[in-house]
Structure 1
Amino acid sequence: MALILIATSPVTSHFYPMASVVHELVSRGHTIWWYAGKKFRAKIERLGATYKAMDAAYDFSGMSRDEAFSQLRGLRGLSALTETIKALFIEQAPKQMQDILGLLNEFPADVLIAEEVGFGMGFVHEKTAIPAVAIALSIYSFGSKDTAPIGFALPPNSSSWGRVRNAALRFFIDSIALRGLKVYIDQTRTGVGLPILNRSVLERIVEPPNLYLLGTIPEFEYPRSDLYEQTHFVGTFTNQPVESFKPPAWWDDLQGNQPIVLVTQGTLANSNLNELVIPTIRALAQENVLVVATTGNIALKDIKLTSLPDNVRLEQVIPFYYLMPHVDVMITNGGFGGVQLALSHGVPLIVAGATEEKPEIAAHVAWAGVGINLKTGTPSEAQIRDAVKAIQRDPHYKQNAQLLQAEFKHYNGPQRAADLIEQLLEKKPQKKR
């Protein structure tokens, strides 16, 4: 059995997909140390892994993005994507590397596993040559001649004209729009003793891993003729949560005749519920639907509503594993894990994404025909209400979501990921110490 070292950023949406893979690896007898935020210690230990704290690196678990990184407040579009990557992941990478190298002195791992933005683990991989696995918790992050760079939220185009467009946009990103980030990345790498990588901006942070496991299916991702060969589609990273679930008192209301509309702003970009959750509650107050709204990091007592409509059920957290089978429409700011879970249950989507890579996820939803991209992070009540009615009126959204649901059934993300990790371990590459 192998010694496996895992690192995740202290973000809830990054923890739970990884937990499904850890559950599978532990069940196969592997020994796991998991470097993560202190908020996750009890959950990690319940899974049978050994928790390791973040010492040098910033542990912002339990905080919203705006609480932890006030400089990101109000950013939208490309600047939101790049500044978030810089603040949450690149700036933390050298300190994460320091922590992880210290752990390796005690725990000679056979393989390293992190999410695709786990750049500290990527640095360690380059320094030690220990095989690395990236669990991709969002859209495919490498460039392609068939797609525009991440940040433009454009559909794919592999025609001759499309490839010219894509190349021109890559040149603009690398030479003009993200020139400052490019310099910062190069300085970060040289600062930890690694050479500069001669690649596009977002691909020059770390070397590609030995395995890149995408938590979706090919039907949701843009077609590309130049996928990295180590890329594998594995389906959703979902398992029954490690915590016990006590349904709220209103749970039987889900068995009624009203369509169920779920609205969420996820677990990171949720400091201002006036962006999506509260407008949705108001927009649907008089509609024949039951609205289930989750607030994430915001306590219910802090929700600024004079009164709660009769057709709304408000909770801080509900495990979507239990809720999604009841949902008819999901309104979301575009968190990747929630989108994939919804589609794996055949649930059409309404996406209002403006931060991180969420506009890209919204564009994927529209391209796949499984929902509506509102093209804003702050939709009006009328936009939300009209979108819900459009989903209900046009059966194609539901039909397309059900087609993807049928494809998801061919995959078991945790099992497939564990199989591929074990295949990598069988190769037993020489470690560099």
Structure 2
Amino acid sequence: MMSTILAYTTPAKGHLYPLTSILLELQARGHDIRVRTLASEVQTMRGLGFGAEAIDARVAAIELQDWKHRSPQKALAASVSTFVARAEFDAADLQTAIAQEQPAAVLVDINSWGGLAAAEKWGGPWAAFCPYPIPLPSPDAPPYGPGLAPGHGFSGRARDAVLRPLVESTMNRSMLPAVNRVRGALGLADVDQLSEQFLRPPLLLYLTAEPFEYHREQWPESLVMVGPCAWEPPAPEPSWLADMTDPLVVVTTSSEFQDDGRLAQTAMDALADQPLSVVATVPAGDRSAFRTPANARVETYTPHGPLFARAEVVVTHGGMGATQKALSHGVPVVAVPFGRDQREVARRVQVADAGVRLPSGKLKGPRLLGAVREAMTKRPGAARVAKGYRDTGGPVAAADAVESRLIGVSSGL
């Protein structure tokens, strides 16, 4: 039975693209897909056969400013300010979309705080999707945010017992009042802990899998891990790729500006005299701002799939999308986190033995060259992560969960 499913995203390609693979699977099962997303991607979504419209332009105009702050606390506060400012508009925007589309189910980006509240207020079947490490506390995982390794034994448990209330209270002080203001504006009850916001959806699609994600004895009943669900717009393989005959290193920077261009420049400089080819993608950068050695090229956008299929190593900014996409190909990663969730992502790369973690504060040419060489020895770990992703089920598992848990279609769960 065909149902109308409405998806609502923040203005971030790194959130839209993983969701798209799930929407395509639902479409293949006969469902009518409607999307509200960033204006630049509306035509792409329509080309896939979705009914797509742009989110409120006032939402898209409020950009992340966390990159301006070196202090993690100030960067967190800046991110909170962005999500709260957007919520004034994205809550009403989703309410309007629901009234227009009359969907059987709604899928909401977990970073759309207003959208989460609007979906809960609506009261129909809805889910959130989370494409980055989720900040749900657990005795089996370290406190979220600083990028700590999991604790083991008495000393590890003692460390976490001391730090967890400190870290969680800091996040609650920074974020909880803002979350409850958003909820209160729609007449919803306050939540007592930040983590409760992520437990409100009847279904939470978590776009990762073990062994990249830390093992936990118990996850919330509402949470379903489905793997990365990678997708990118269809595009031909770049003609110049065939001319790159040396082993390939790919460097990625954020699709949302965070002033991480020095990662691309440092990598190209460090690898300039190596028997390697280098491709740096800078979707939020300016190609003309880089010095490009003879063995390298800089692209604003080029599909990652063909590059990662050939890569020996991928150097990332620690973004979850590019990191998981590389690991899905079994390619080891050098993760250089600059902020946001990236410290958590980089630590997971290290703990899974699927690559190397290099803090951005230590980003120097010799260190990066050494990290690339070390990462080349990590293919077995990357292969284990890739298998974990495959075994989780990907878009098929996500669509099964949406059908069985939200719209009452039996799909084998």
SS of equivalent residue, structure 2 residue 360: coil
For the structure 1 residues 359 and 205, does the alpha-carbon distance in structure 2 shift closer, same or farther, using more than 3 Å as the test? Answer: same
Partner of 1:431: none
1:263 equivalent to 2:251? Answer yes
For the structure 1 residues 410 and 226, does the alpha-carbon distance in structure 2 shift closer, same or farther, using more than 3 Å as the test? Answer: closer
Partner of 2:26: 25
1:35 equivalent to 2:18? Answer no
> Which of 156, 170, 189 matches 1:195?
189
Partner of 1:212: 204
For the structure 1 residues 181 and 232, does the alpha-carbon distance in structure 2 shift closer, same or farther, using more than 3 Å as the test? Answer: closer
> Which of 61, 78, 81 matches 1:83?
78
Counterpart residue identity of residue 259, structure 1: P
Question: How far apart are 1:132 and its partner, in Å?
Answer: 1.8
In the alignment, the residues of structure 2 paired with residue 180 and residue 242 of structure 1 have an alpha-carbon distance, to the nearest angstrom, of 36
SS of equivalent residue, structure 2 residue 60: coil
> Which of 368, 374, 387 matches 1:390?
374
1:112 equivalent to 2:106? Answer yes
Of all paired residues, the percent bearing the same amino acid is 27
Question: How far apart are 1:37 and its partner, in Å?
Answer: 1.3
For the structure 1 residues 161 and 300, does the alpha-carbon distance in structure 2 shift closer, same or farther, using more than 3 Å as the test? Answer: closer
Under a length normalisation based on structure 1, what TM-score does the superposition of the two structures give?
Answer: 0.87
Runs (5+) with no aligned partner, structure 1? 429-433
Give the number of equivalent residue pairs: 408
Answer yes or no: is the 8 Å Cα contact 2:252–2:322 preserved in 1: no
Runs (5+) with no aligned partner, structure 2? none
In the alignment, the residues of structure 1 paired with residue 84 and residue 158 of structure 2 have an alpha-carbon distance, to the nearest angstrom, of 30
Partner of 1:403: 384
Answer yes or no: is the 8 Å Cα contact 1:116–1:136 preserved in 2: yes
SS of equivalent residue, structure 1 residue 91: helix
Answer yes or no: is the 8 Å Cα contact 2:211–2:384 preserved in 1: no
1:365 equivalent to 2:349? Answer yes
Counterpart residue identity of residue 243, structure 1: P
Partner of 2:330: 346
Counterpart residue identity of residue 214, structure 1: Y
Q: Where does structure 1 differ by over 6 angstroms across 4 or more consecutive aligned residues?
A: none
In the alignment, the residues of structure 2 paired with residue 47 and residue 87 of structure 1 have an alpha-carbon distance, to the nearest angstrom, of 34
1:248 equivalent to 2:232? Answer no
SS of equivalent residue, structure 1 residue 213: strand
Compare 227-236 and 47-56 and name the one that shifted more: 47-56
1:146 equivalent to 2:140? Answer yes
SS of equivalent residue, structure 1 residue 422: helix
SS of equivalent residue, structure 1 residue 297: coil
For the structure 1 residues 281 and 165, does the alpha-carbon distance in structure 2 shift closer, same or farther, using more than 3 Å as the test? Answer: same
For the structure 1 residues 427 and 164, does the alpha-carbon distance in structure 2 shift closer, same or farther, using more than 3 Å as the test? Answer: farther
Question: How far apart are 1:286 and its partner, in Å?
Answer: 0.7
Answer yes or no: is the 8 Å Cα contact 1:267–1:296 preserved in 2: yes
Partner of 1:380: 364
In the alignment, the residues of structure 1 paired with residue 173 and residue 363 of structure 2 have an alpha-carbon distance, to the nearest angstrom, of 31
Partner of 2:273: 286
**Which string of whole-angstrom CA distances, capped at 9 and with x for unpartnered residues, describes residues 62-120 of structure 1?**
xxx9xx34464133535434532x13433312321111112222222111102222322
Compare 289-298 and 172-181 and name the one that shifted more: 172-181
Answer yes or no: is the 8 Å Cα contact 1:82–1:356 preserved in 2: no
SS of equivalent residue, structure 2 residue 59: coil
Answer yes or no: is the 8 Å Cα contact 2:109–2:115 preserved in 1: no
SS of equivalent residue, structure 1 residue 101: helix
In the alignment, the residues of structure 1 paired with residue 335 and residue 305 of structure 2 have an alpha-carbon distance, to the nearest angstrom, of 20
Question: How far apart are 1:222 and its partner, in Å?
Answer: 0.8
1:273 equivalent to 2:267? Answer no
In the alignment, the residues of structure 1 paired with residue 66 and residue 381 of structure 2 have an alpha-carbon distance, to the nearest angstrom, of 39
In the alignment, the residues of structure 1 paired with residue 405 and residue 66 of structure 2 have an alpha-carbon distance, to the nearest angstrom, of 40
Question: How far apart are 1:283 and its partner, in Å?
Answer: 0.7
For the structure 1 residues 421 and 35, does the alpha-carbon distance in structure 2 shift closer, same or farther, using more than 3 Å as the test? Answer: same
In the alignment, the residues of structure 2 paired with residue 387 and residue 352 of structure 1 have an alpha-carbon distance, to the nearest angstrom, of 10
Alignment of 1:224-235 (within 5 A): 224-235=216-227
Partner of 1:297: 284
SS of equivalent residue, structure 1 residue 250: helix
For the structure 1 residues 136 and 313, does the alpha-carbon distance in structure 2 shift closer, same or farther, using more than 3 Å as the test? Answer: same
Under a length normalisation based on structure 2, what TM-score does the superposition of the two structures give?
Answer: 0.91
Partner of 2:149: 155
For the structure 1 residues 377 and 50, does the alpha-carbon distance in structure 2 shift closer, same or farther, using more than 3 Å as the test? Answer: farther
Compare 185-194 and 108-117 and name the one that shifted more: 185-194
Answer yes or no: is the 8 Å Cα contact 2:128–2:203 preserved in 1: yes
1:121 equivalent to 2:102? Answer no
Answer yes or no: is the 8 Å Cα contact 1:293–1:315 preserved in 2: yes
Question: How far apart are 1:409 and its partner, in Å?
Answer: 3.2
Question: How far apart are 1:149 and its partner, in Å?
Answer: 2.3
Question: How far apart are 1:326 and its partner, in Å?
Answer: 0.3
Question: How far apart are 1:155 and its partner, in Å?
Answer: 1.7
